[in-house]
Amino acid sequence: MSPTAASLAIPASPRVHALLQRLHAASAAQEHTLSQSWFYLKRLIAFHLFSTTWAAAADDHMRDKFVALEEDKCHFVYLLARSSGALNIVEAGTSFGVSTIYPALAVGQNVADQKARGASVSGRVVATEKEPTKAARAREHWAEAGDEIAGVIDLREGDLLETLKRDDMPEQVDFLLLDIWTPMALPTLKIVKPRLKKGAIVLADNTKMARALYKEYLDYLHDPANGFKTTEVPYSGGLQMSVYLPDESS
Ligand SMILES: C[S@@+](CC[C@H](N)C(=O)[O-])C[C@H]1O[C@@H](n2cnc3c(N)ncnc32)[C@H](O)[C@@H]1O
C-alpha cells in the first residue's frame, strides 16, 4: 500500500490517523456545500456594502460547523512546530478540536525529544473556544485520540480576549495559530505578542481569500515598527506566515 500524505507528514498512531481522516472528511463535507459557499459570499458582500465584519447570526450559523483547517495546512503546522522545536503553542479558534491535534502531537514529541537529551521541560497547546457545545465536542475528539494528545492541551473556554489574558499563560509562546474570525486576528495577536519569543511563528488562515477582511492585520504585519517578517504561503485561500523578529538594537 502506498503511503498517504498524512503518514508521510505525521508520525502518529493508526488510531489518531483514523480519527483525523474521519474529522477532516466531515469538515470538508460541510464546507463543500452550496449553502456554506453562499454564507462566505454573503459575508464578503456585507463587508463591501456595509463594512460588516461579523454578526451574531454568523455565530449561530457556525455553531454546528467544523470549519477545520484543511489537512495540508495542518501538516504544515505540525512540521513547522516540529522543526522549530516549539514547546508552547497558542491556538486562537479551536472549534471541534481538529487542528489542535497537530500542534499537540508536535509539542508532545518535542518534549519527549528534549527529555531524551536529559532536559527537564514541559510544553502545552493553549486552545481557545467560546462556544460551549464546540468545546465539549473538541474534548470528546481529544479523548478519543488518547492521552498523548489530551494531556498536552489546555483548553480555555470563553472569549479568548479574556482567557488569553489570564496569568496562567506560558511565559513564552513559540507559535501562534490564528484560525479565528477575521476581526479577532489582530486583537489576538496584540494580546499574545508580549509573550512571543524572538523567532516565534504566527500563522493566519485564509488571508488571500479574505484579504479585505484582514486589512488591519496585514497592515500591522507590514509595518516594520511592529517587528514581524511575513509572507503568504500559497495554500488554498492563502496562509500568512510571519516570524517575530523585533529589532533589538532600537
Ligand atoms: C475557524 S474555527 C476554528 C477551527 C479549528 N482551528 C480547526 O481547524 O478545527 C474558529 C472558531 O473560533 C471560535 N471563536 C470565535 N470567536 C471567538 C472568541 N472571541 N473566543 C474564543 N473562540 C472564538 C468560533 O466559535 C469557531 O469555533
pLDDT of residue 1: 66
pLDDT of residue 250: 53
What CA–CA distance (Å, rounded) separates 204 from 92? 10
pLDDT of residue 216: 97
pLDDT of residue 46: 84
Q: In the CATH scheme, what architecture does the domain 69-244 have? A: 3-Layer(aba) Sandwich (3.40)
Atom of ligand 1 nearest to the CA of 23: 9
137 CB within 6 A, ligand 1: no
pLDDT of residue 58: 83
Block means of pLDDT (10 residues each) for the chain, 250 residues, are: 88 96 96 87 84 79 93 98 98 98 98 97 98 98 93 97 97 98 96 98 97 96 98 98 89
Q: How far is CA 49 from CA 42, 46, 219, in A?
A: 10, 5, 21
95 CB within 6 A, ligand 1: yes
For every residue of 36-72, DSSP letters joined together read HHHHHHHHHHHHHHH-----HHHHHHHTT---PPPHH
What CA–CA distance (Å, rounded) separates 188 from 82? 23
130 CB within 6 A, ligand 1: yes
103 CB within 6 A, ligand 1: no
Question: Residue 15: helix, strand or coil by DSSP?
Answer: helix
Burial of 63 (0-12, 13-18, 19+ CB in 10 A): exposed
Ligand 1 centroid to Cα of residue 242, in Å, is 20
Kindly list the domain boundaries of the chain, sorted by start residue: 69-244
Question: Residue 130: helix, strand or coil by DSSP?
Answer: coil
pLDDT of residue 9: 94
240 CB within 6 A, ligand 1: no
